[in-house]
Amino acid sequence: MEHKTENFNKQNYDLSRVRTSFVEKVSTVLISQLLDDVLLDRIVNDGEKESVLEANSTRGDRARCLIDTVRRKGNNASRMMIAHIQQRDPMLYAELGLSCGQPAQPEPPVEQEWSASLIPTTDTFWREKLNDKHVYSVTKKSIKNRVALLITNIKFANEKFNRNGAEKDEENMDKLLTSLGYKVVKYTNLTAKQIDEAIIKFSKHPELKETDSVLVVIMSHGKLGAILGVNWENETSGDASPDEFPINNIYKHLGSQKCPELMNKPKIIIIQACRGEEGGAVLVCDQADSAVLCDDIKQSGPSPSADEENIEDDTLRCVHKEKDFISLLSCTPDTVSYRQRGFGSFLIQYLVEVMHTDAHKDDIEELFRKVMHRFEDFCIQNKRQMPTKDRCSLTKRFYFFPGI
């Protein structure tokens, strides 16, 4: 009898322990099913069931009210509720780490399997997020108007700077963006001036008004704060105007002032380029016998304000100069990033795998975190690389909803 009492106490504890995750993950459909179940079990009465549904307008509030009502009914009620979760949604049951009184058996660690193609979002998941005030609006119409900019520098005027293997990056990103519903505006082998002009032209794209988001992907050699054009030469050349595109220009051209069509819409920037520190180094070309290549351009060794009273509320509106951006850069400041001749850069390889596997259920910040997590154990020829999220000003969660 003592063992049974401990078991019952554990059930109530389990519901309390998973309360936050349950509220976050349970679907509207499952809430209704569980309410029917606990009504049939006489855990709640008709009035309590109606109260859960009618007194709470959001899915989260209903989930919170349901689990709290059952917990207050005692350990046996909690046990029965857990059993219904297991029967109705085994995946959620497993994610919450629940049990129905039987001791959990430890499972051997399972190696992550990555999908070779995008897993589609369910219509239920999309509709659940459709009216969530904490999620950027995505409609079927806006998905049809998505546009993305893809710039890849592969061949340089100085052939020793050619980015062997970057063709694969261009191919992989083009396929990924297209499968996510974006019409891809693509450029290859641009100077810094041409990169700037391409972004300005993109900022005037006619479909920006109807899109829900944009992606800008730029892949080239780089240095801290800049992307290199195809005519770049190292500083010893004496060129007074080096072929360098300031990364900050992306935010200027797509920000609220110069691109109002993208106001309050996610602007996702992905840059595959090194961010090597200036000074005391020369560009190291790709070694012919090396399978792992580097986009570093510097290596020294192997490794207007206005007075308030003058502003009329009905004619002027103050907006954030820079908002709704998120960037993923291929490495941290002053470090380099790597690519393989046959497969392309590690950043793009990992990004594609994570997007294919989890874009149907994760928002962009979580997807980027998972890409970064892939690099925790990155170790090839004693090399290290860690991507970084930068200048994130997203105020809500953004989901791609592939397949909707």
β-pair partners for 216: 149, 269
Distance CA(94)–CA(91), nearest Å, equals: 5
**Catalytic site includes residue 274:** yes
The pairing of beta strand 325-329 with beta strand 388-390: antiparallel
Look at residue 152 and tell me whether its pLDDT is greater than 60. Answer: yes
- The arithmetic mean of pLDDT across residues 15-20, rounded, is 85
Write the DSSP symbol of residue 284: P
**Greater confidence, 103 or 224?**
224
**Greater confidence, 77 or 209?**
209
CA distances from 393 to 76, 255, 323, 365 (A): 46, 12, 5, 11
pLDDT-derived band at 117 (thresholds 50, 70, 90) equals very high
**Greater confidence, 328 or 78?**
328
> Whose structure tokens read 């239920």?
124
pLDDT score for 299 = 45
Of 221, 253, 356, 360, which residue is the catalytic one? 221
Mean pLDDT across the chain: 84
Of 65, 274, 294, 331, which residue is the catalytic one? 274
In contact, 367 and 325? CB cutoff 8 Å: no
- The arithmetic mean of pLDDT across residues 246-255, rounded, is 96
Which range among 1-5, 22-26, 215-219 has the greatest average pLDDT? 215-219
**Catalytic site includes residue 221:** yes
**Greater confidence, 106 or 38?**
38
pLDDT in tens, 252-305: 999 999 999 999 999 999 999 988 643 223 344 454 445 566 665 554 334 444
Look at residue 311 and tell me whether its pLDDT is greater than 60. Answer: no
The number of CA neighbours under 13 Å toward the Cβ of 375 is: 23
Least confident of 25-29, 298-302, 366-370: 298-302
pLDDT score for 312 = 38
Look at residue 195 and tell me whether its pLDDT is greater than 90. Answer: yes
pLDDT score for 181 = 97
Look at residue 106 and tell me whether its pLDDT is greater than 80. Answer: no
pLDDT score for 7 = 41
Least confident of 6-10, 141-145, 193-197: 6-10
pLDDT score for 240 = 60
Distance CA(395)–CA(133), nearest Å, equals: 10
User: Which H or E element spans position 327?
Assistant: strand 325-329
Look at residue 74 and tell me whether its pLDDT is greater than 90. Answer: no
